[in-house]
Amino acid sequence: MKKCSILLLGVMFSLAGCSGEANNNVVKVYNWGDYIDESTNRMFEEETGIKVIYEVFPTNEEMYAKVSNGNATYDVLIPSDYMIEKMINEELLTKIDMTKIQNYQEIDDDFKNLPYDINNEYSVPYTWGTMGIVYNTSMIDEEIDEWADMWNPKYENQIFMYDSERDAIMVALKKLGYSMNTKDPSQLEQAKQELIAQKPLVLAYVGDEGKGKMENGEAAMMLAWAGDAELMIGNNPDLKYVIPKEGTNYFVDAMVIPKNSENYDNALKYIDFMCRPDIAALNMEYIGYSTPSSAARELLPDEMKNSEVAYPDLDLINKEMFTDPSSMLETYSRIWTEVKAASK
Amino acid sequence: MNRKYLITPYALWSFIFVIVPLFLLVIYSFVKTVDGQVIFSLESYTKFFDPLYIDVLLRSLRLAFITTIICFIMAYPLAMILNSREFSNKTMILILIILPMWMNSLMRTYAWMILLENKGVINNILNFFGLPTKQFLYSEGSIIFGMIYNFFPFMILPIYTSLTKIDNHLIEASYDLGANKILTFRKIIFPLSFPGVITGVIMVFMPSLTTFMITRLLGGGQVILIGNMIEEQFTRTNNWGFGSALSMILMGIILVSIMFFSKNETLAKGGSLI
């Protein structure tokens, strides 16, 4: 889900070329980097004759920065739950005519009526997943099953944290037994102290480059998204993914249509197409994340279909979803700067 | 008279891509939004005067300063060697210096990451010979290393250029008048190459002060520099005001340091890239 900084550069340069499109029969899609099997875009073009103009973003916040000021117009966006909530609140999204999305029935009930879009008016789920710890069983003998393990001095300089304030603070809050959406200053202060205390043990705060390093055994454990973990385990069977018992972040990335979309009907067709089980299966097989559609899951190869990494029993996890963080961003940023500025 | 119009495309170019963005930066840094109303505010600047952020700035200045000094110490003798008459392979060496610049610096930094990792190429070789793994990455040292590697050409090229422009007759005259090598260097060669040195210093100091990619890749995100802070304001915190104010402060620092260096009149004369 969180994609890397190199893409940022790529996106910035590709911006220059995206204006002045003369062709009317297009759909402009803005998605996470490396978050689709691009052949499905070609298939959509062949089936419908609608040209897909495809761009990528590295974080929800960057997507928001670009879309919210109205300078860029897209037809389909694929942000995460809390960002959808924020965009609905700010009236940046338009309602989706679900009667036109025939494949919406393929989406499981678990992924309908979620808090960010309680009446299923604005969004159609694309993927979902959890965050947890990936660890290397050839370097760690014991069972890792809680966030506190990332604070174990035994693993000094063997831990990769994610270079993202929100995810790091989530981990610290969960370790302390608090809600990751807390706005309580004293709880956040404790989380900050936890992260500063953890710093001497952390080898590096990584972005996407951490995945390859982890596969190579550069570190013994790493904070990771389930989808990334799935791919990493595919490359190194010694790795194992665990959802810590203190609880974790559970996210849904969903397709939405921004208010200033110029090709509403094409957007509906695109969303419908991406929900089709065979297409969804192609995408999930490529990106490694989990599909919200059982029909699509059935079409996946066995090891993916039955993967406990990608499809944990949702009832057993102590899970929480991020809510709109807008009012907290300054606080998170300050906490993170303090953690980063602390001496190792 | 007509020739004046030839400047129009360049003027237009700098207006659109330099003046306008700069202007936006100034505006963003001086306003804030309250209840949908955009009002004038110095908040972004006052926010900066916090020991936390000052500390980040000082650290960035320190690392940029160390990088610049080391680059200079390495580059000047090499430029002298390249410029000496006895040395015949200068084209080869110059090409070797410039060649890596044909590749994207991000890729080169990634390459260093792979070489220097704990499980990287160099450590594998060390281990092969029975030597223990040495942790090269994830520290201030590795950030400085990455900056020196990336910005070294910007130091050597202007110094070399300014050395080549020195009229040999001046040096010969110096010897004829009885000066030894050291005195000639001090009184003739170094002062005449000074514009190149200034350019080199500026060209290394500026990108070192503002880098954010090297900090992340080679520093393992362990250290936060002012470049990272600015990036974060725009990409994650969505506080463009503070990000702009930080950029303005940084530009101010760079401007002051350039003015400080260029007080020396030689900058106005040839040999300089600026």
User: Which residue is it, tokens 């340091």?
Assistant: B257
The whole-angstrom distance between A8's CA and the closest CA on chain B is 9
Is residue B148 domain-shared with residue B25, that is, in the same domain?
A: no
- Flag whether residue A218 sits within 8 Å of chain B, measured between CB atoms: yes
In this structure, the number of other CB atoms found within 10 A of the CB of residue B201 comes to 21
Is residue B125 domain-shared with residue B1, that is, in the same domain?
A: no
B72 within a domain of the structure (yes/no): yes
pLDDT above 70 (res B128): yes
Sign of the dihedral defined by the CA atoms of residues B68, B74, B75, B80, in that order:
positive
Please answer whether residues A148 and A175 qualify as being in contact, where contact means their C-beta atoms are separated by less than 8 angstroms. yes
Best of A340, A343, A344 to mutate (most B CBs within 10 Å, chain B): A340
Is residue B71 domain-shared with residue B149, that is, in the same domain?
A: yes
Among chain B residues, CA nearest to A164: B236
CB-count exposure of residue A27 (10 Å: 0-12, 13-18, 19+): buried
B233 within a domain of the structure (yes/no): yes
Best of B216, B223, B244 to mutate (most A CBs within 10 Å, chain A): B216
Q: From CA B239, how far away is CA A245, in angstroms rounded? A: 35
Backbone angles phi and psi of B82, in degrees to 5: -60, -35
Q: From CA B155, how far away is CA B149, in angstroms rounded? A: 11
Is residue B32 domain-shared with residue B80, that is, in the same domain?
A: no
Chain B hits for A202, CB-CB cut-off 8 Å, are: 222
CA-based nearest residue to A31, from A103, A80, A81: A80
- What number is the average pLDDT over the span B127-141? 93
Q: Which of A202-216, B109-123, B252-266 has the lowest mean pLDDT?
A: B252-266
B89 within a domain of the structure (yes/no): yes
Write the DSSP symbol of residue B177: T
Is residue B67 domain-shared with residue B144, that is, in the same domain?
A: yes
Write the DSSP symbol of residue A219: -
Write b or e for each residue in B135-146: b if 16 or more Cβ atoms lie within 10 A of its Cβ, otherwise e.
Answer: ebbbbbebbbbb
Q: From CA A321, how far away is CA A115, in angstroms rounded? A: 9
B274 within a domain of the structure (yes/no): no
Residues in chain A, total: 344
Is residue B260 domain-shared with residue B224, that is, in the same domain?
A: yes
Q: What is the residue range of B106's domain?
A: 50-268
Please answer whether residues A275 and A281 qualify as being in contact, where contact means their C-beta atoms are separated by less than 8 angstroms. no
Is residue B37 domain-shared with residue B136, that is, in the same domain?
A: no
Q: Which of A9, A62, A218 sits opposite B106 (nearest CB)?
A: A9
% of chain B beyond a pLDDT of 90: 78
- Flag whether residue B141 sits within 8 Å of chain A, measured between CB atoms: no
What the block records as the tokens of A128 is: 């979902």
- What number is the average pLDDT over the span B189-197? 93
B141 within a domain of the structure (yes/no): yes
Q: From CA B199, how far away is CA B24, in angstroms rounded? A: 28
Confidence class of residue B1 from pLDDT cuts 50, 70 and 90?
A: low
Residues sharing a CB contact under 8 Å with residue A310, sequence separation 6 or more, in sequence order:
A129, A226, A227, A230, A288, A289, A290, A304
Write b or e for each residue in A112-130: b if 16 or more Cβ atoms lie within 10 A of its Cβ, otherwise e.
Answer: eebebbeebebbbbbbbbb
- What number is the average pLDDT over the span A228-232? 93
Is residue B81 domain-shared with residue B166, that is, in the same domain?
A: yes
Backbone angles phi and psi of B228, in degrees to 5: -65, -40
Is residue B77 domain-shared with residue B31, that is, in the same domain?
A: no
Measure Cα distances from A279 to A97, A129, A276, B56, B195 in Å: 21, 19, 5, 48, 62
Q: From CA A247, how far away is CA A182, in angstroms rounded? A: 14
The whole-angstrom distance between B75's CA and the closest CA on chain A is 30
ipTM of this predicted complex?
0.88
pLDDT at A20: 44
Among chain A residues, CA nearest to B133: A218
Q: Which of A6, A164, A205 sits opposite B106 (nearest CB)?
A: A6
Confidence class of residue B264 from pLDDT cuts 50, 70 and 90?
A: low
CB-hemisphere CA count at 13 Å for A297?
18
Give the CATH number, domain containing residue B76: 1.10.3720.10
Is residue B132 domain-shared with residue B79, that is, in the same domain?
A: yes
Helices (H), A183-246: 185-198, 209-215, 226-235
pLDDT at A70: 81
Looking at the structure of chain B, the number of domains it has is: 2
Is residue B93 domain-shared with residue B155, that is, in the same domain?
A: yes
Give pLDDT tens digits for A187-225: 999 999 999 999 999 999 998 889 999 999 999 999 999
CA A236 to chain centre: 22
Is residue B82 domain-shared with residue B17, that is, in the same domain?
A: no
B31 within a domain of the structure (yes/no): yes
Residues sharing a CB contact under 8 Å with residue B248, sequence separation 6 or more, in sequence order:
B25, B26, B29
Measure Cα distances from A48 to A41, A201, A267, A273 in Å: 11, 53, 12, 10
The whole-angstrom distance between B182's CA and the closest CA on chain A is 44
Give pLDDT tens digits for A111-170: 999 999 999 999 999 999 999 999 999 999 999 999 999 999 999 999 999 998 999 999
Measure Cα distances from B176 to A95, A212, B164, B169, B189 in Å: 88, 64, 21, 10, 15
Confidence class of residue A34 from pLDDT cuts 50, 70 and 90?
A: confident
The whole-angstrom distance between B70's CA and the closest CA on chain A is 24
Confidence class of residue A343 from pLDDT cuts 50, 70 and 90?
A: confident
Mean pLDDT estimate for chain B? 90
Residues sharing a CB contact under 8 Å with residue B251, sequence separation 6 or more, in sequence order:
none
Element (H, E) at A90: none
- What number is the average pLDDT over the span B46-71? 96
Helices (H), chain B: 8-14, 20-30, 43-48, 51-83, 90-98, 105-116, 121-128, 140-164, 168-176, 181-184, 190-210, 213-217, 226-235, 240-262
Please answer whether residues A172 and A195 qualify as being in contact, where contact means their C-beta atoms are separated by less than 8 angstroms. yes
Give pLDDT tens digits for A172-196: 999 999 999 999 999 999 999 999 9
B23 within a domain of the structure (yes/no): yes
What the block records as the tokens of B235 is: 């990409």
pLDDT at A2: 41
A218/B223 Cβ within 8 A: no
B76 within a domain of the structure (yes/no): yes
